[in-house]
Structure 1
């Protein structure tokens, strides 16, 4: 069976000792002549607008060199036999799909690759596929060969007689890209590598929200580090967080954005709300910010404009002096277009306190006012304002 390789070389990972003598990551030494064990699991953030996102995992590969090529010696493979078809949308709220474990020589490792089985033409069930909400199953176009555009560092240490325990966090929402009007979707993998640590932030949102459209994200400095959707009872969990302080951003269709600041994560669980104090958000009308991302070049004395198809567009909002990401979307893989549906009402903000329920207040000055950002590999970040406070949508185009 053919396979597609996703290169995960370029995001640093942190790690903590979960049980003495069990985990060694990020700096331990261990006996370089000994042997440890690598264990790997798969999890997912929520996917926007899909009922199912299937990928079929063939193997996980690791190498001590961040620059090692496919055919070089020194690779260790964790084979998934037979290849396993996984619905990523079943892996939210910290649910893991165990991929297995493999003996691994003690030492420092700098490259991880996830290998997916290729779709077979004519197969009744595609190995990799998506099902848009209300639609039919569509084979997912996956990249083939080494993915030079996705280079995420995955530095971890394996000590002699110890376990390196890693989780591959697959962000399906940012990884599935519409391909124009073809009805097809491309996989543009957005993944991170995190240790299986015990820290988490948990809470409950009211079931009066549209739970299928609700997202809870743990952010720092406007960057989403982990996100999830609540279950049918409104419970949510954001596990595997590095120790630190986070801002929670809660979004839902037909509701104002909720922001909870100063939420700590350590070695245990931080609960921001319970069933008795479930988070609710004010109702809000929604409006769309649409546009395209393009780049112009000179060719033969003429200006040629083409869509930028590897861009991501983010809707940022300043809430009581802190900038958060409300939504983001990869640009269309053919047209370079985007369409973000955003609340027009004022966002609400509360500061976390361990001894008191959350008390939200509205930031009226921020109602319907966003900063749109375009990010693309090897290009500058572009920012433009978008004002939908009147309740009507607007268009924001980006040009490089």
Structure 2
């Protein structure tokens, strides 16, 4: 258990900082986490570069209102033809409000290019109607505490059209969306709550995840793969005895609620 002891020691050294910041964690307990990734169905080109600038989500049925940008967006040009055969790249990884996501909007810049099989680099023309972004219907609920992955499957063959024999190409994106829960979460309360407690998730001797309890002793560990784990509770107060809870089952798309645990001397 040397690795576990080292991790616990490191975590306990952070106790002063955690006393200041633990309150802010409680605001995220009911947030879902969304990763947006880009992948590709191949087309007959050497390279296809798209200029991704923004991703927005909408929880409303009214298309004119309710759009919210995803924080932490990785703007830039992406070569779609490197994202084939189940490869993808994460464009955004953000905490979002739980509820039903009605639509996603992918906003592209104007730096989109295609490299043809004879080596010509041609700038892609984008219809003016796409200036506000490409809107994709989702209409799926997301629950607090769960990690979701939204895969944007870009069909190059259907999305790029040659304009007659002019050598010009038009970009009209055809994108399939796949939203799936990627793991489950563990939620509970550890007392006494005067000082925070470290909560560690172990699979055998391997530490899978860790956190600290916040206001009122509440804690949540998100994005855990389905499986059976042991929870280790270690208070910042060294006079309180650590506790291990065995056989905690995590299921994909679900939050496992743990009964309130009280550490004693």
TM-score using structure 1 length: 0.36
User: CA 1:76/1:152 → structure 2, altered by over 3 Å: closer, same or farther?
Assistant: closer
In the alignment, the residues of structure 1 paired with residue 71 and residue 128 of structure 2 have an alpha-carbon distance, to the nearest angstrom, of 18
- Look up the match of 1:191: 175
CA RMSD of aligned residues (A): 2.7
Q: Tell me, what secondary structure is at the counterpart of 1:89?
A: helix
Say whether the 8 Å CA contact 2:72–2:93 is kept in structure 1. no
The answer on 1:163 being equivalent to 2:147 is yes
Q: Distance in 2 between matches of 1:63 and 1:34?
A: 18
Structure 1 residue 132, shift from structure 2 partner: 1.0
Separation in 2, partners of 1:53, 1:82: 18
- The aligned residue for residue 62 of structure 1 is 57
**2-structure distance, mates of 1:41, 1:164:** 11
State which of 126, 150, 153 in structure 2 corresponds to 1:142: 126
Alpha-carbon spacing, 1:82–1:62, altered in 2? closer, same or farther (3 Å): closer
Name stretches of at least 5 consecutive residues in structure 2 with no aligned partner. Answer: 1-28, 183-251, 253-265
The ranges of structure 1 where at least 4 consecutive aligned residues each deviate by more than 6 angstroms after the TM superposition are: none
Q: 1:177 aligns with which of 144, 148, 161?
A: 161
Distance apart, 1:104 and its partner CA: 1.0
Matching residue of 1:35: 31
CA distance in 2: counterparts of 1:117 and 1:147, whole angstroms: 8
5+ unaligned residues in a row in structure 1: which ranges?
1-32, 119-126, 199-266, 268-400
Structure 1 residues 103 and 144 mapped into 2: Cα distance closer, same or farther (>3 Å)?
farther
Q: How far off is 1:196 after superposition?
A: 5.1
Q: Does 1:89 find its partner at 2:81?
A: yes
Tell me the residue number matched to 2:17: none
Q: Which structure has greater helix proportion?
A: 2
Structure whose CA Rg is larger: 2
In the alignment, the residues of structure 1 paired with residue 95 and residue 181 of structure 2 have an alpha-carbon distance, to the nearest angstrom, of: 21
Map 1:1-400 onto structure 2 (within 5 A).
34-48=30-44, 50-69=45-64, 72=65, 74-78=66-70, 83-118=75-110, 127-146=111-130, 152-195=136-179
Q: TM-score by structure 2 length?
A: 0.53
Which gives a bigger RCO, structure 1 or 2 (Cα 8 Å, sep 6+)? 2
Change (3 A) 1:57 1:159: same
- Per-residue CA deviations over 1:137-180 (Å, capped at 9, x if unaligned) read 000012345589x7642122121122221100000111000011
How many residues are aligned here? 155
